[in-house]
Structure 1
Amino acid sequence: MESTFKKPVLFFLACLVIASSTILLSRAWTSPCRVAANGYALSRSFVSSGNTTSSHDTGTEAPPQPSVCPTSTPRKHVLFVAKARTGSTFIGELFNQNPNVFYLFEPLRVVPDMVKMDAIPETYSGDMSAELLNSFYHCDFLTYYVYHIPRWYLAVSESNAMQKICKRYKRCTNVSISDLKEECLKYEVMVIKSIRVEDLNYLMPMLQQECFDFKVVLLARDPRAVASSRKYFKYRNRANETLYELGIAKPLNDTTTRLHPDNVHDYCKWLGRNLAVLRNAQSRARRRIVVLRYEDVVANVTQKALELYKIFGSRVTENVLKWIADNTHSDEHVERGSMATKRNSTSTALAWRSDLSMNDVKLVQSACNDVMQTLGYKLIKRESELINTSASLLNPLPLK
């Protein structure tokens, strides 16, 4: 009888263990940002400040905790968040050219691949991106990412640090995960550039972590210039067509036009959404987010580079200054895939004013009115204002 009693008890305990494990796994899966990236243990403060529930939702801010940060100089981490055709590759070069910086070009490109392979559902892309960024900044690299590096040309060609590592190991395919981690840890500054961060809320855990030196640069560009750049990049042979005909912009009351995936409406919604995140962020996170206008950079690249390096607690090297001199005042235009390496930066910033018609400009302004005024971009009403390139269309940046 005793053995008969033990059997259902053991069966019940086994079922309980299985059920508990299932619940724990499902919780970890549904909120991957709260689980350590690659097994990396996150602090209690990191977890509690995630994007799903934060103290700024209630209008109160948690009291400051006593600092327990190490006294040694912390490693610095910088993330440039942008969208396509906003000048992010150009801005990234200001750090890629510094031999003391470990620079990664678009490492989140692997996330859409994961979605396509059904490794994760698309709804988890934001959490997955945050988890990967956290692991990258700790020099813990996803197996698929290391496999991906030599198979995507720009991952290496746009990162001087990766070129150096591949050369050291003879070829990129010889670089193992442990090799990459060892090389990455040698750098005191790590910079990542990405056009695949949709919502800054996903980065709040890293932004709130006291002892993690992390800053985010939200790069903005005049939506009129973005629309023009996308038109001439995507439709070089259809330059005579309007933004409306190409599906890049449409009137706000038009519900029938099929828009191109790179339409300006989505770009401005993205900007507005992330500016709202900045406004609502707690003070520590707010101090760590910098809004940068592309037009302010190209107006004086050297001065802006000095300012950015100062914000990040680092210094500009001769390599950076030489790159600026070689790449910002040339009329030569050399294409490297989708990346332009030689350009007159001021002329590039103003090109849209001769490339777009007044009707195109009105379409973009209609779609982006609020965000343009928030960022200090002047709206224009007549063609004389459009073609008069000596008149600036920039007000001082209201956000600091």
Structure 2
Amino acid sequence: MRRYNTYSICLIFMLSISVFIIGTQYIDNIIYLTSTERWKSIKVIIKVEDGDDSYVQEIPIKFYHTVNYSATNKEDIHTITNENQSQDLTVTNNASTLTHKQTHLATDLENILDKARSDIRRQLSNYNLSYSGAHTLEDLVMESEGSPIRTLVISSWRSGSTFLGDLVNSIPSNYYHYEPLLMYGTKQIRSPNDATEALSIVKRMFKCNFEGLDEYFEFESKDLSLFSHSTRLWDYCKDDKTNDLCFNAQFISRMCKLFPFQSMKLVRLRLRLVDEILNDKELNVKVILLMRDPRGLMQSRRHRRFCELSSDCWEPSLVCADMVSDYVAARSIMQRYPGRLLVIRFEDLALKPDVTTQQILDFMRVDGRKAFDEFLKSHTNMEVAGVHSTFKVTRNIPLKWKYTLDYNYVADLQIACKEAMRLWGYKMAYNETHMMSNEFNPVEDYSISK
């Protein structure tokens, strides 16, 4: 007769208790796993003694799983039920049946959303809604069938886009979609075929639909600091010890729909590919194209580890070909979508901040002068270390390349970028003396011919 040794019995008993505790810890007797691969690989192995023989044997445990769409974990959470459980532990997977814990969570989420609504109204108590073409706040809020002011910033790496993105985000009650295409790596999306998925992500986020963006959430989960740029969302989920709220598509979708202003920054998608976004009348997106002198651009990219690994980042011919392409695309968009594109240069933003920021506000139709002034005062008069820091003495940045780059490198760069520099109003340096001279101003006026 077969007998189970004492060790095996204890092991089974401990395993049963553990499973029961795990189940009751979350929702009554439901066990949650964050990956289908994990539940498929579950096995229970015991040691069996049969007379003088002993061997290991797998106990047959079969699991069924269903997706719990009301869950708050980072990935789809699968509910599993063991056929071998007693009748008392059988779980009915009914999405309409809320347990006490689910009810408590739902209440917490509603309280958070209510607080966000109150905060938005308080922040905009003195806001001039008519400046944005609205009579009431509800006219700009998706939750109440309104249409928010949406702004898309397009640029490239080390062009000052983080500074501009944070500047726009300083507008009260603005929801910031920070670099949703980060998961594409150091790559420029230049062809329509490559842009299909990227454009879908952009459009869905601008419509506050985060369902199904598993790859996006997976990437963001590796570095929570990425969420901190989206300050309004981060304000409500940063204290969540499990970090579940930041990855809850349903919660983020609802939160996003509360805000009257939305902005997004992209450095991986070229301007000529945004027609699909501009054609979407529901979105009514306005685009800001940010350009920078290729010499300042390359000076800032040098010795950046992320840039050294991609020719899209360090190869002057590719960089300046994109600048020429952006010029052509800007000219075309201005003809076909009047009033939907604003082009600014980083040098103008840094050296003439008051004039340039007012152009941005007028273009966006946003009453944000006070917010912009406070941002500029706090971010442009002090240095804070960090590659992505936006606390800079900005007046010192645009011409830094003149005094740090070797002229031989500049000369080669200017040859590769001759056409791009001509179109965007950047003057050539003829020799090292000329380049480093205080009288040499490399920035001149330009126009985008229609």
C-alpha distance in 1 between matches for 2:159 and 2:313: 15
Q: CA deviation at 1:152?
A: 2.4
Q: Report matched runs for 1:118-267 at 5 Å.
A: 124-141=193-210, 142-167=213-238, 172-175=243-246, 176-197=248-269, 199-234=270-305, 261-267=313-319
Q: Distance in 1 between matches of 2:306 and 2:215?
A: 33
Identify the structure with the greater strand proportion: 2
Q: Which residue of 2 aligns with 1:359?
A: 408
Measure the CA separation in 1 of the matches of 2:179 and 2:408: 34
Cα distance in 1, alignment partners of residues 159 and 174 from structure 2: 22
Q: After the TM superposition, which residues 1-40 of structure 1 pair with which residues of structure 2 at under 5 Å, given as runs?
A: none
* Alpha-carbon distance in 2 for matches of 1:388, 1:131: 48
Superposition CA RMSD, Å: 3.1
How many Å separate the matches in 1 of 2:389 and 2:239?
Answer: 27
Out of 304, 308, 312, the residue aligned to residue 360 of structure 2 is 308
Give the structure-2-normalised TM-score.
0.61
Distance 1:170 1:76, change over 3 A: farther
User: Where is the helix percentage greater, Structure 1 or Structure 2?
Assistant: 1
Match of 2:392 among 327, 343, 354: 343
Distance in 1 (alpha carbons) for counterparts of 2:172 and 2:222? 24
Deviations 1:241-296 (A, max 9, x none): xxxxx999xxxxxxxxxx68522221111111122222334734353122210000
1:292 counterpart (338, 341, 344): 344
Secondary structure at 2:324's aligned position in 1? helix
Give the counterpart of 2:427 among 378, 386, 399. Answer: 378
Match of 1:14 in 2: none
Does the 8 Å contact 2:296/2:398 carry over to 1? yes
Equivalent position amino acid for 1:146 in 2: F
Q: How does 1:88-103 map to 2 (within 5 A)?
A: 88-103=161-176
Query: In terms of Rg, which structure is larger?
Result: 2
Q: What code does the residue aligned with 2:250 have?
A: S
SS in 2 for 1:339: coil
Task: State the one-letter code of the partner of 1:125.
Answer: D
Counterpart of 2:201, as a letter, is: L
Structure 1 residue 90 displacement after superposition? 1.1
Query: Which runs of structure 2 are paired with 1:385-396 in the superposition (5 Å)?
Result: 385-396=434-445
Question: How many angstroms apart in 2 are the aligned matches of 1:168 and 1:191?
Answer: 24
RCO (CA 8 Å, sep 6+): is it higher in 1 or 2?
1
Check 1:357–1:96 CA distance in 2 against 1; reply closer, same or farther (3 A cut): same
Residue equivalent to 1:334: 385
**Does structure 2 retain, via aligned residues, the 8 Å contact 1:105–1:154?**
no
CA 389–96 in structure 1, closer or farther in 2 if over 3 Å, else same: farther
Assess if the C-alpha contact under 8 Å between 2:334 and 2:341 holds in 1.
no
Alignment of 1:32-51 (within 5 A): none
Cα displacement (A) at 1:322: 2.1
Gaps of 5+ in 2: 1-133, 141-146
Shift of 1:311: 0.4
Distance (Å, rounded) in 2 between the aligned partners of 1:350 and 1:161: 34
Q: Provide the aligned length of Structure 1 versus Structure 2.
A: 302
Shift of 1:146: 3.5
* Cα separation, 2, equivalents of 1:157 and 1:75: 22
Question: Which runs of 5 or more residues in structure 1 are unaligned?
Answer: 1-69, 116-121, 237-245, 249-258
